[in-house]
Amino acid sequence: MDNDYSFIKDLKIAEEYLGLTRKDLSNALETNTMTLYRWEKGEVSPNALSLERFYSFLYRRGIRLNQIKAELWKEETKDDILIFHGAKEGIKGPLSKERFKPNNDFGQGFYCGESFEQSVSFVASFRFSSAYIFSFKESGLKRSLFNVDREWMLAIAYFRGHLNKYANSQVIQNIKAKVKEADYLIAPIADNRMFEIIGEFISGEITDEQCRHCLAATDLGRQFILLSPKALKSAVQLEHCYLCEDEKRYYLSLKEKTEEVEADKVKIARAQYRGQGLYIEDCFK
């Protein structure tokens, strides 16, 4: 599935939507009409520079193509769930659990979000990053659900390798069983900022209640973690979205602004719930 962008379709959309002749578009992309013709016929594929020029051209003309695609797919997949995956590099080959890193929030699995913008913001700083749109069928699959609570915080900490001394406790065993029995999970997203807060809870600096309210203040939304082969087969790729540099910069700036606001919310929550709840040692008594 690597480099399988809908380039030919997007090229035709650009010509029709902007009312450009082939000559106009070839000039904008710094190529010739024959090359453009061969692209449209699928005889040759554009190189990396041509892709960047094309999608940057659209973005600078105010056409937010990827956001439009996400909205259109929502309309077309009402019976299924639409999920998004931000990839540091393109996905090569079929989805399989073994290809994913083990030290993620819930171990090995395919992680997707409910928001296109959010999924892109996590990978926008990487040079070869792109985004994927999938439809996901829940029917016939077993699901486990996590919320912003102590169980979720402990699960994240354990699967990221920070609660090994409690690995044999009943609390951790119950969490492991909940994950193991599921084809897929739905859980709050835990980015690096959130894990820093969980780290304060693990180290005994704050209580579980302080941690929970701090994490709730960030409001990152939910993620889908596909674990079993059956769940992975239920994810159908709809679109591979090219991210031009201008679009990446936009999402990075948006993320920075959001983080500034959330940082203040976290400070207030930490102060407001100081002393309430349990410290980490008490959670395993």
Mean pLDDT of all residues in 259-267? 83
In this structure, are residues 134 and 112 in contact, taking their beta carbons and an 8 Å threshold?
yes
Tokens of 204: 């005994």
SS3 call for 124: coil
Q: Determine which helix (DSSP H) or strand (DSSP E) holds 113, and give its type and residue range.
A: strand 110-113
The residue behind tokens 């904008």 is 28
In this structure, are residues 116 and 243 in contact, taking their beta carbons and an 8 Å threshold?
no
**How crowded is residue 255: how many other Cβ atoms within 10 Å of its Cβ?**
18
* Cα(146)–Cα(127) distance, integer angstroms: 33
Sign of CA dihedral 60, 62, 63, 67: positive
* Cα(201)–Cα(190) distance, integer angstroms: 14
* Cα(173)–Cα(146) distance, integer angstroms: 15
- Kindly indicate whether the domain formed by 1-63 is annotated with CATH number 1.20.1050.140: no
> Is the confidence at residue 3, as pLDDT, over 70?
no
The residue behind tokens 């912003």 is 148
Cβ-based burial of 141 (10 A; exposed 0-12, middle 13-18, buried ≥19): middle
pLDDT band per the 50, 70, 90 thresholds, residue 1: very low
The answer, as to whether pTM is greater than 0.85, is yes
Mean pLDDT of all residues in 87-107? 82
> Is the confidence at residue 2, as pLDDT, over 60?
no
Tokens of 256: 């920075």
Sheet with 143-145, side-by-side order of all strands: 143-145, 184-188, 222-226, 110-113, 81-87, 130-136, 235-242
SS3 call for 143: strand
pLDDT in tens, 47-92: 899 999 999 999 998 889 999 999 999 888 878 899 999 999 888 8
> Is the confidence at residue 186, as pLDDT, over 50?
yes
In this structure, are residues 227 and 179 in contact, taking their beta carbons and an 8 Å threshold?
yes
Per-domain boundaries in the chain: 1-63, 91-116+138-233+244-284
List the alpha helices (DSSP H) in 1-47.
Answer: 7-18, 22-28, 33-40
Cβ-based burial of 121 (10 A; exposed 0-12, middle 13-18, buried ≥19): buried
Instruction: Give the C-alpha distances (Å, rounded to integers) separating 62 from 59, 66, 71, 253.
Output: 5, 12, 16, 17
Choice between 209 and 22, residue whose per-residue pLDDT is larger: 209
Mean pLDDT of all residues in 156-175? 91
> Is the confidence at residue 33, as pLDDT, over 80?
yes
Cβ-based burial of 35 (10 A; exposed 0-12, middle 13-18, buried ≥19): middle
Mean pLDDT, the chain, as a whole number?
89
